[in-house]
Structure 1
Amino acid sequence: MVELYSRRSFVAGALTAGMLSTATGYLLTRSEPVTLVLATGADPTGARQLLVSMWNRLHPDITIEVVEVNSSTMDQYAKFTETRADIYNLDVIHIPRFAQAGRIAPVVPRNDISLLEPVRRVCQVENSPDEFWAIPFNTDVGMLYRRITDKRATDLAPSMSEVLAQGSFTAQLNTDGIATDEAFVINVLEQALAQDDAILDAAGTVSFSLGQWRTALAPLADALRRRRVLAESSEETTLRTYNVRDLRYMRNWPVWFPSVDRAERGSKAGTMEIRLSGLPTGVLGGQSLAVAQDSPHREEAEQVIQFLTDEPAQKLLASFGFAPPGLDAYIDAGVQAVAPHVSTIRTAVEAARPRPIHPGYPDFARAFKDHTFAYLYRGEELTQRFVEDLREALQ
C-alpha cells in the first residue's frame, strides 16, 4: 500500500513539474493586467485548482478567478447564465443549449489533444470539424466497482444480470429532488442499455419504441421489487453504502476510484483490492471549457483553455482520478504507473453512449425521470405517453 501511493505522489509531482514547463509556452504580454472569470461547479479533488494556480503563477498579467457556482447538473444552465464569466466549465449535456442561445463562441484547438471519438462528437460544431463549441477538460463514464477478497478465484467481469441477481449492488437508482435527478436518469439509461444497447445509439439518438423500453427496464424493476439493489440518490451516499455494507458491486464514476481503493487497502484486511470494469454500455459524461460569447477577452480566454486542456493537463488530471478525454494521456507511461486501470476506463469511454445531444435535453430528462420513477417505484406501467413525451422534448 505504501509503495503504491508513494509512487502515485511521486509521479503526480513529476507531472506537475512538466506542467510548469509547458505553461511557459502560453505566455502572453499585456500592457494592463486582466482577470478572467471561470464559472464552474465544485471539484473535491483539488486538481482543477492546481492547474489554475500553475497558470496564475506564470501569468501575473492574465490571471484566472474561479467562481464556483452552487448548482446541480440540471439547474446548471440557469445558474451559469446568471454568472458573468469569460469561461464556462460546462457539463456535456449543456453545450447544445449554450450554443443555441448564442452564449458561447466556437474555438479552434491550437494543440493536438487526440480526443477519443465519442468525446469529440459531443463537442464539435456541426459541419465544421475544426471548430468546437467547448474543449473537453475531462470526460466521464459509469464504471462497475468490484470488491475482491480472493485473488486466486476466477474474477471475470460479470454481466448486469449476474450483478442484479446477487443482491450485493448499489447505484444511483433513486432520487430525492432536482440535485439527484440527473444521476437517476443516467443510471436508469445504463441499466436499459445493459439489456438492449439499441435503446440509445452512438449519436445519442434515443429509441421511441415503447415495447423496447418495457423489455429493457423490466429486469431493473424486478430487482428493485425483490430488493436486490440498494438504490441511492447520489454518488456520495452510494459510496457510503458500498463501504458500510461491504457490498461486492457498485456503479459510480471513475474519479472516486483512488480514494475508494486507498481506503480499502488501508482499513479492511479482508479486501484484497477494488477492481474496475466497464458497464455493458456506459453513459458518457464530462465537463468542457467554453469561451463566453460576450467576453471582452476572448483571445486570452482561448489561451487559458488551451493550457487547461492540453496533453500535460490531461495527464495531471488523470493522476487525480479523472478520465482523460484524449488518447495520449491513456498511453502515457507516467499515467499508467499512477493509474494502471486507465486502459479499462479508455475502453469504457470508447464504447459509451451520449445522452441526446439536443437543446431540449432538460425536458427529455424531466419526462424520462417522471415516467421511469413512477414505473420503478410506484408500479405504474410505461404507456405510449412516455415515448410521446420523449419525442416532443427532442423535436
Structure 2
Amino acid sequence: MTYGGRRTARRRRVGPVATLGSLLLLLATACTGGSGDAQETGQTKETAEGPIVVASGLDVTGSGSVRQQLIDEWNRRHAGSKARQATLVELPGGADQQRSQLLGALQSGSARYDVVNLDITWIPEFAEAGLISPMPVAETGAAADDDRDFIRQVHATTVWKDRSYARPFNTDVGLLYYRPDLLTSAGIDVDKQPTADWRWDQLYSSVKTLDLNPVRSDELAGWTTQLKQYEGLTVNTVEAFAEAEVELTDGTGRYGSSAAELKKGLDRLLERVDRGRVQPAALTSDETASLTDFVEERAVFLRHWPYAYGALADQMDPDKYAVNRLPGKAVLGGQNLAVTADSRRAEDARALITFLTSRQSERCLLDAGFAATRASVYGSAAESCWPRVAAALRPAGDDPKAAATGEGGPRTQGPDARAAYIRTLGAALTEAVQRPRTPYYGAFTQVLQSHVHALLAEERPDTAEAADRLDDALRDVFAGR
C-alpha cells in the first residue's frame, strides 16, 4: 500500500505486498490461527476456536523474551480453556518491514491475527484504514480507575480522532547517559552534571571544558546519538524541533508549520551537532553503533533509550556510566496493543490485552528493561512482577549478591542506583512529547529523514534553503499527496 494511492478511510482488499519470506510467515500464522473459512461455519468472533494470535516485533532488550513469558503466564492461568490459549508470532526485520507485513496481512486477510503490537506512530494509520477496533470506554468504576493509571502522555498515543484504539504496552523515552570517569579526569564536578533541569547549554559548557573537537570517528567526542537515515534521525530531529517550539501538525494530522518555523528547528539541530561536538560517526549510527561508541570511550554523553541502562551493565564497570533525563524535550517511543478489526476472538483478545498491560505485567516489563506505561509502577507501592515470569527472566535489574561479590553476573550499580534510575525514567515519561500524529507517518518520516540527512552531510549547510524545500515536501505529505 502506498500513501498517495489511499483515499478511503475503510479497509479494502489489495494485492500481495509482502516479500517471499513475509508470505511464508503469514501462511504459517494463518495455519496457527485457524483457516480463513472458519467465519463461514457459523462461528462468531467471540466463539471461534484456535489460539488468540498476537503479532509483535522482536524483543530488543535481551531480557529473555518477557513478552513470551507474559503470554505463557496467561496460558497457565487459562490452562483449562483451550479456546483462551494465546500464541505469540514475532515478526522479523526492522520497524518498516514489520509495518509492511502487518498492513499486508490485515488488508488481505492472509493471517488471522487477533492482537497486534503496533509502534505508537502507526496507530492513526491503522485506525484510519479500519484495520483495528476502538477500545471500550469505561466512564466510571474499576475499569475507569485502571485506565487512569496509564501515564497521560503515554495513553495519548493510543488515541486518534478522540477515540482510543489500543492500550499502552511498553513505552520508551530519550535519556542522557554520560561518563563520570571522563568528566572527573577533566576536573569537572560530576555532582553538578545532569539534574532534572539540566540544559543543552550546560552540556556544551562541559564539552568546551573538555576541549573536544573530534575530526575522525576514533576520537573522543562530546556526545553521540542516532543520526543515520532511519527513524532515529526523525526522533533526534523532532526533539530539536520541540525544544525550538516547532509543532509540525495539530491533533488531527494537519500540517501547521512553515518554512520559517522549520528553519528554527533545523538551526537547533545543527547547534546540537556543532556545539555539542558530536561524534563524526553519528551520521551513520543507529542504536547499536552509538552505544558501542559510548562504551568504547568515543563519546562523553549519549542520547539513547531506557534499554541501554541494562545493556551497559553487561559492558561497563558501574562507576563508568550514569543516566539522567535528556536536556530539553524527549520524544516518546514504544508499542501499543490493539485488537484487529477482523478478529473472531475480539472479547478474548481484549481480555488478553488487559492482562498484558496490568500493573503486575507492566512491572515485569520494567524489570526486563522496557519502560512501563503505568504511573503506579514507578511508585514506592508498585506491585511485583508475576512470580513465575520474574523467575524465568534474566534479571535486568540488580542482584544484591552479584553487586556485592561480583558473582552470578555483571557487577551492577546496585539497588539504590536502579531505584534512582526508575524515578528518573518515570519523570521523563511525564514530560515527553510525541512525534507527529498522522495516518501518513511512514511517508512523513522518510521525507524528513531524506531532507535532514542531506543537510547534515553538507559542508556549509544552508538551513533557510533546506527549510523551504522541506516545507514544500511536508505540505504534500500531510495532505496525502
TM-score normalized by the length of structure 2: 0.67
Rate the CA distance shift 1:389–1:263 in 2: closer, same or farther, 3 A: same
What amino acid is aligned across from residue 86 of structure 2 in structure 1? I
Q: Does 1:163 align with 2:163?
A: no
Q: Does 1:172 align with 2:230?
A: no
User: Matched residues in 1 for 2:177 and 2:250: separation?
Assistant: 24
Rate the CA distance shift 1:219–1:289 in 2: closer, same or farther, 3 A: closer
Which residue is equivalent to 2:125? 97
Which residue is equivalent to 1:313? 361
Which residue is equivalent to 1:193? 242
Please state which structure has a larger fraction of its residues in strand.
1
What amino acid is aligned across from residue 347 of structure 2 in structure 1? E
Partner-residue secondary structure (3-state), 1:258: helix
Aligned counterparts, 1:244-393, within 5 A: 244-245=296-297, 247-265=299-317, 271-333=319-381, 339-378=419-458, 379=461, 381-393=465-477
Q: Is the Cα–Cα contact under 8 Å of residues 249 and 257 in structure 2 kept in the other structure?
A: no
Aligned length: 353
Which residue is equivalent to 1:11? none
Deviations 1:126-169 (A, max 9, x none): 345xxx20111011111111222358643244422443562421
Partner-residue secondary structure (3-state), 1:82: helix
Listed as ranges, the gaps of 5+ residues in structure 2 are 1-45, 106-110, 138-142, 208-220, 385-414
Pick one of 144, 161, 175 that aligns with 1:126. 161
Rate the CA distance shift 1:311–1:255 in 2: closer, same or farther, 3 A: same
Q: Is the Cα–Cα contact under 8 Å of residues 264 and 274 in structure 1 kept in the other structure?
A: no
Q: Is the Cα–Cα contact under 8 Å of residues 147 and 249 in structure 1 kept in the other structure?
A: yes
Deviations 1:267-302 (A, max 9, x none): xxxx35422223310111110001111111111111
Deviations 1:319-351 (A, max 9, x none): 122212121111144579764312222222221
Pick one of 54, 66, 78 that aligns with 1:47. 66
Q: Is the Cα–Cα contact under 8 Å of residues 249 and 436 in structure 2 kept in the other structure?
A: no
Pick one of 152, 155, 180 that aligns with 1:117. 152
- 1:81 Cα offset (Å): 2.5
User: Matched residues in 1 for 2:191 and 2:170: separation?
Assistant: 35
Rate the CA distance shift 1:201–1:325 in 2: closer, same or farther, 3 A: farther
Q: Is the Cα–Cα contact under 8 Å of residues 227 and 233 in structure 2 kept in the other structure?
A: yes
Listed as ranges, the gaps of 5+ residues in structure 1 are 1-29, 176-180
User: Matched residues in 1 for 2:233 and 2:308: separation?
Assistant: 18
What amino acid is aligned across from residue 174 of structure 2 in structure 1? G
Partner-residue secondary structure (3-state), 2:245: coil
Rate the CA distance shift 1:234–1:164 in 2: closer, same or farther, 3 A: farther
Aligned counterparts, 1:24-63, within 5 A: 34-43=50-59, 44-45=62-63, 46-60=65-79, 61=82, 62-63=84-85
User: Matched residues in 2 for 1:31 and 1:226: separation?
Assistant: 61
Q: Is the Cα–Cα contact under 8 Å of residues 174 and 326 in structure 2 kept in the other structure?
A: yes
User: Matched residues in 2 for 1:275 and 1:107: separation?
Assistant: 36
Which residue is equivalent to 1:72? 94
Q: Is the Cα–Cα contact under 8 Å of residues 144 and 250 in structure 1 kept in the other structure?
A: yes
What amino acid is aligned across from residue 78 of structure 1 in structure 2? S
What amino acid is aligned across from residue 47 of structure 1 in structure 2? V
Q: Is the Cα–Cα contact under 8 Å of residues 137 and 289 in structure 1 kept in the other structure?
A: yes
Moved more, 346-355 or 288-297: 346-355
Rate the CA distance shift 1:262–1:47 in 2: closer, same or farther, 3 A: same
Which residue is equivalent to 2:136? 108
What amino acid is aligned across from residue 245 of structure 1 in structure 2? E
User: Matched residues in 2 for 1:346 and 1:225: separation?
Assistant: 30
Which residue is equivalent to 1:19? none
User: Matched residues in 1 for 2:256 and 2:424: separation?
Assistant: 28
User: Matched residues in 1 for 2:326 and 2:48: separation?
Assistant: 49
User: Matched residues in 2 for 1:201 and 1:329: separation?
Assistant: 31
User: Matched residues in 2 for 1:278 and 1:227: separation?
Assistant: 14
Rate the CA distance shift 1:375–1:333 in 2: closer, same or farther, 3 A: same
Rate the CA distance shift 1:281–1:226 in 2: closer, same or farther, 3 A: closer
* Percent identical: 28
What amino acid is aligned across from residue 116 of structure 1 in structure 2? I
User: Matched residues in 2 for 1:152 and 1:225: separation?
Assistant: 23
Q: Is the Cα–Cα contact under 8 Å of residues 164 and 229 in structure 1 kept in the other structure?
A: no
Q: Is the Cα–Cα contact under 8 Å of residues 133 and 290 in structure 1 kept in the other structure?
A: yes
User: Matched residues in 1 for 2:47 and 2:325: separation?
Assistant: 52
Rate the CA distance shift 1:248–1:35 in 2: closer, same or farther, 3 A: same
Rate the CA distance shift 1:104–1:306 in 2: closer, same or farther, 3 A: same
What amino acid is aligned across from residue 150 of structure 2 in structure 1? L
Which residue is equivalent to 1:16? none
Q: Is the Cα–Cα contact under 8 Å of residues 295 and 315 in structure 2 kept in the other structure?
A: no
Which residue is equivalent to 2:173? 141
Q: Is the Cα–Cα contact under 8 Å of residues 104 and 133 in structure 1 kept in the other structure?
A: yes
What amino acid is aligned across from residue 103 of structure 1 in structure 2? L
Q: Is the Cα–Cα contact under 8 Å of residues 278 and 347 in structure 1 kept in the other structure?
A: no
Which residue is equivalent to 2:409? none
- 1:191 Cα offset (Å): 2.7
What amino acid is aligned across from residue 54 of structure 2 in structure 1? L
Partner-residue secondary structure (3-state), 1:349: helix
User: Matched residues in 2 for 1:187 and 1:152: separation?
Assistant: 25
Pick one of 257, 268, 276 that aligns with 1:208. 257
